[in-house]
Structure 1
Amino acid sequence: MARIPYADPALPEHREAAETIRASRKRIGHLHRMLLHAPPIAQGWIALFDAVRWKSTLPGKIRELMMCRVAAINDAPYEWEAHAPLALQEGATQAQLDALRDWEASDAFDPTERAALAYCDAMTREVHVPEAIAQAVRDAFPPRQLVELTVTIAGYNCVSRVLEALDIKGSDPLPEG
């Protein structure tokens, strides 16, 4: 079970944020149910991640591979389970998902994907991106997409850290609400 109880979306102080989540996601899952404890953060979270997911020009396959790579590095199973099926829908292959934990030893990724994965690894593991890796993503992505790639990786590092710090699991029972 999570470290604190999941919030009740029916409580008056949670209703507005709950409606924002429902309008975006159609349902209030585990992560969002937890975020409801802080309604302004829940609403801001939805705004940010709606932009990352649906208002970005970054190819969906790259976006979802980055989310899965972050989940793999950070050992965040909830994040992996949420995004691996989406990666497949966006054009990633099962072979790519299977190779993602050791992508450098795999030939399943094209040069653009490899540049993005190296960038993801540097951002997630070291924070400071070496210039050679930064140059490779500058060569592979126009400025807008490079910003979108950067925010996707940073944002999903935030997601995994919230999930793991609060021990949120998709298998946790959610009370009615």
Structure 2
Amino acid sequence: MRLAPPDPDTLTPDQRRVHDLIASGPRGQVRGPLAIWLHRPRLAETAQALGAYCRYGTTLDPRLSELAILCMAVVWRSEFEWWAHKPIALKAGLAPDTVEALRRGETPAFSSDEEEVVHAVVTTLAAERRLPDALYSRAEAVLGTDRLVDLVGLCGYYTLISMTLNVFEVPLPEGASPELPPR
């Protein structure tokens, strides 16, 4: 780890306030990128609010949100993100075969048009930094405008998450093993 989270015993009042805000919310704890961001409490507070929306407030159902998050973890080779969200994705109803195909870097055989479109949007956006007209039109037809906007926002947030995890080399928790294939 290049940068450890601030020591909980020496948090500034602002860091303590943001730490407690995050810990008392639906996450229940402060770990991973949120812990790193505590070095800059305003960043942590602002980013956690966006993250709370992306995780718990979008128009995407949890199965589609978690599919998108796992796709972002694979794109960024973010082991921590994969570790954190794989069980959530499975609990949300994403098929184990789909999760395994994603882990291997393969395009899964999706059970719905929504899943296929979410995967196509995330992977295309990550690779090409835009969506071709045909994919945009299909995504808007399948997901609708609100869910498409939320999906793009989720991709942006999980890019920030993954960049933070990768740049600061946030390790997996003790006892967890890497699952993503090497580059």
One of 97, 102, 105 as aligned partner of 2:106: 102
Task: Specify every segment of 5 or more residues in structure 2 that has no aligned partner in the other structure, as ranges.
Answer: 175-183
Contact 2:66 2:92 (C-alpha < 8 Å) held by counterparts: yes
Select between 7-16 and 134-143 the one with higher mean Cα deviation: 7-16
Q: Percent identity?
A: 24
> How far did residue 5 of structure 1 move?
2.3
Contact 1:8 1:33 (C-alpha < 8 Å) held by counterparts: no
Aligned length in residues: 169
Aligned position for 1:165: 167
**Superposed CA offset, 1:129-164 (max 9, x none):** 111111111011121111111111121112111110
Superposed counterparts of 1:136-147, under 5 Å: 136-147=138-149
Aligned position for 1:175: none
Contact 1:70 1:153 (C-alpha < 8 Å) held by counterparts: yes
Instruction: Supply the distance in 1 between the matched residues of 2:113 and 2:23 (Cα, whole angstroms).
Output: 38
Superposed counterparts of 1:11-22, under 5 Å: 11-13=11-13, 14-22=15-23
**Aligned-pair Cα RMSD in Å:** 1.4
Instruction: Supply the distance in 1 between the matched residues of 2:8 and 2:46 (Cα, whole angstroms).
Output: 16
> How far did residue 115 of structure 1 move?
1.2
Instruction: Supply the distance in 2 between the matched residues of 1:42 and 1:120 (Cα, whole angstroms).
Output: 25
**TM-score computed with the length of structure 1 as normaliser:** 0.90
**TM-score computed with the length of structure 2 as normaliser:** 0.87
Superposed counterparts of 1:32-47, under 5 Å: 32-47=34-49
**Superposed CA offset, 1:75-125 (max 9, x none):** 11100011111101110011110112211xx42342221111111011112
Contact 1:69 1:120 (C-alpha < 8 Å) held by counterparts: yes
Task: Specify every segment of 5 or more residues in structure 1 that has no aligned partner in the other structure, as ranges.
Answer: 173-177
Instruction: Supply the distance in 2 between the matched residues of 1:42 and 1:8 (Cα, whole angstroms).
Output: 15
Superposed counterparts of 1:86-125, under 5 Å: 86-100=88-102, 101-103=105-107, 106-125=108-127
> How far did residue 30 of structure 1 move?
3.0
Instruction: Supply the distance in 1 between the matched residues of 2:49 and 2:131 (Cα, whole angstroms).
Output: 27
SS of corresponding position for 2:8: coil
Select between 110-119 and 83-92 the one with higher mean Cα deviation: 110-119
> How far did residue 171 of structure 1 move?
2.8
